[in-house]
Amino acid sequence: KSCQTASIATANASAQARNHVDAQVQTEAPVPVSVQPLSRYNVPRLAAFLRRVEAMVIRELNKNWQSHAFDGFEVNWTEQQQMVSCLYTLGYPPAQAQGLHVTGISWNSTGSVVACAYGRLDHGDWSTLKSFVCAWNLDRRGLSPRQPSAVVEVPSAVLCLAFHPTQPSHVAGGLYSGEVLVWDLSRPEDPLLWRTGLTDDTHTDPVSQVVWLPEPGHSHRFQVLSVATDGKVLLWRGVGAGQLQLTEGFALVMQQLPRSTKLKKHPQGETEVGATAVAFSSFDPRLFILGTEGGFPLKCSLAAGEAALTRMPSSVPLRAPAQFTFSPHGGPIYAVSCSPFHRNLFLSAGTDGHVHLYSMLQAPPLTSLQLSLKYLFAVRWSPVRPLVFAAASGEGDVQLFDLQKSSQKPTVLIKQTQDESPVYCLEFNSQQTQLLAAGDAQGTVKVWQLSTEFTEQGPREAEDLDRLAAEVAT
């Protein structure tokens, strides 16, 4: 007998889905989890638990307090870097061909992008010259030092730059014309996000520094603060169609400065005090230090209420922010920096070539160091080592000071330019703490890798800083 399957019937048919749905996904900032309130039913069991463990914990705390078991014991987790080396030399040839200097530098919030502003710092009428803001993404493969990842052409010289604290592609810049602009570097076709425009509120002098500040009450929204040599400190917020609107303003007037220290008498008619640098305290978000053209730092507060005696037009009432005047330098101040580890210490540097370490509690500086025979253009505290700061000098070098090693001379002197042209700006990278970027008059940005001694905090450094502040003050 044989068997055979019957032929199988087949047929062809086609199918296509005609309906489709679009969906978008976005992560939101996480809602912070809060501590649960103690519910009544757990209390007796919690009390029993604490009774059980208390004796053991107190015993361990006591043992720990008296123990010398770990004295001098240090562990190295990272590869030790002995020398300071130059990782990248970045530049934008069209800007360098025009003889532009690097006037401002900023690292973005993720620490992988460094942006620089091109302009001129020797005073002249460069307001009609095109300038640039360039950004390099150091983490991208195929990084080309002569080709920035993003270039923005700006109609006027840019004198200062600051990246947004949380948005990795937003950057604010202050112009020679007094305007403040905010760009989004992730949009190459149209990067300009907001601008102040040239209104009555805008600065009438070049903007010396811009800083991002969290809005009071909304910790994830930010405003831009700009200071300029016309004596105004202005707070801007982006509204509507690309317009930066003035929300708060302050004006520095000679007659309203607190007389905590003797100042040189100014000739009649000069009532405005030009602001050249600003630094906010990391401990009190309303407190800031202003560096001035007169060489004296001012302690100011955003909460100051007194109206400013100025006739400058403004859409919001201008207030006088100064609360305390410190002893002056021998010339205008170019940079101030508040210590991220000590609430009262700040540094200032200026044209007299000196760096002053001030405590906010007294007018004369705690110590004064002469770092250069020419001007000092920038000074910054290290974000990781409480006793370290860096200064950029007019002789073309970056000086790194470690107050633990020596309070007289720099621990490391990095020669940035070969022909002694000045270094105008420098910034530490707070995410990748071994990187330091510095921009000079030749239009190059050099990214330096610091040795391990500058990036790892020693065991008792914060206490050493406190002791230094107390010692020098008495």
**Using CB under 8 A as the criterion, which residues of the chain lie in contact with other proteins when the complex forms?**
32-38, 40, 42-54, 56-58, 60-62, 64-68, 70-71, 74, 457, 459-460
Smallest distance, other proteins to C-beta of residue 38, A:
5
Nearer to other proteins, 64 or 85 (CB): 64
Specify the amino acid at residue 443: G
Smallest distance, other proteins to C-beta of residue 14, A:
53
Smallest distance, other proteins to C-beta of residue 39, A:
9
Q: Nearest 5 degrees, angle CA 420-CA 113-CA 202?
A: 80
Nearer to other proteins, 46 or 192 (CB): 46
Nearer to other proteins, 152 or 388 (CB): 388
Nearer to other proteins, 8 or 35 (CB): 35
Q: In the sheet that 354-359 helps form, which strands lie side by side, from edge to edge?
A: 333-338, 345-350, 354-359, 367-370
Q: Would you state the structure tokens that stand for residue 17, as one six-digit string?
A: 């889905």
Smallest distance, other proteins to C-beta of residue 32, A:
6
Q: Would you state the structure tokens that stand for residue 39, as one six-digit string?
A: 């519910």
Cα-based distances in Å from 458 to 67, 344, 386: 19, 21, 9
Which of 449, 444, 409 is CA-nearest to residue 424? 444
Nearer to other proteins, 21 or 56 (CB): 56
CA gap 326, 334 in Å, rounded: 15
Nearer to other proteins, 32 or 240 (CB): 32
Instruction: Report the b/e string of 437-471 with b at 16+ CB within 10 A.
Output: bbbbbbbbbbbbbbbebbbbeeeebeeebbebbee
Nearer to other proteins, 74 or 419 (CB): 74
Phi-psi region of 13 (alpha: psi -120 to 50; beta: other; left: phi over 0): beta
Nearer to other proteins, 243 or 457 (CB): 457
Q: In the sheet that 412-415 helps form, which strands lie side by side, from edge to edge?
A: 376-381, 388-393, 397-402, 412-415
The rounded Cα 219 to chain-centroid distance in angstroms is 17
Smallest distance, other proteins to C-beta of residue 373, A:
39
Smallest distance, other proteins to C-beta of residue 215, A:
19
Q: Which helix (H) or strand (E) holds 60?
A: helix 43-66
Nearer to other proteins, 144 or 219 (CB): 219
Nearer to other proteins, 6 or 61 (CB): 61
Smallest distance, other proteins to C-beta of residue 50, A:
4
Contact criterion met (CB below 8 Å) for 396 and 379: no
Smallest distance, other proteins to C-beta of residue 16, A:
48
What are the respective helix, strand and coil percentages of the chain, to the nearest 5?
10, 40, 50
Q: Which residue has the tokens 């004064």?
A: 368
How many DSSP H helices and E strands does the chain contain?
3, 29
Q: Which residue has the tokens 């407190």?
A: 287
Phi-psi region of 433 (alpha: psi -120 to 50; beta: other; left: phi over 0): alpha
CA gap 141, 135 in Å, rounded: 15
Smallest distance, other proteins to C-beta of residue 63, A:
10
Cα-based distances in Å from 316 to 121, 158, 215, 248, 252: 31, 26, 17, 6, 15
CA gap 128, 157 in Å, rounded: 8
DSSP string, 245-304: EEEEEEE-BGGGS--SS--PPPPTT--B--EEEEEE-SS-TTEEEEEETTS--EEEETT-
Q: Which residue has the tokens 């020596």?
A: 406
Nearer to other proteins, 42 or 370 (CB): 42
Nearer to other proteins, 51 or 259 (CB): 51
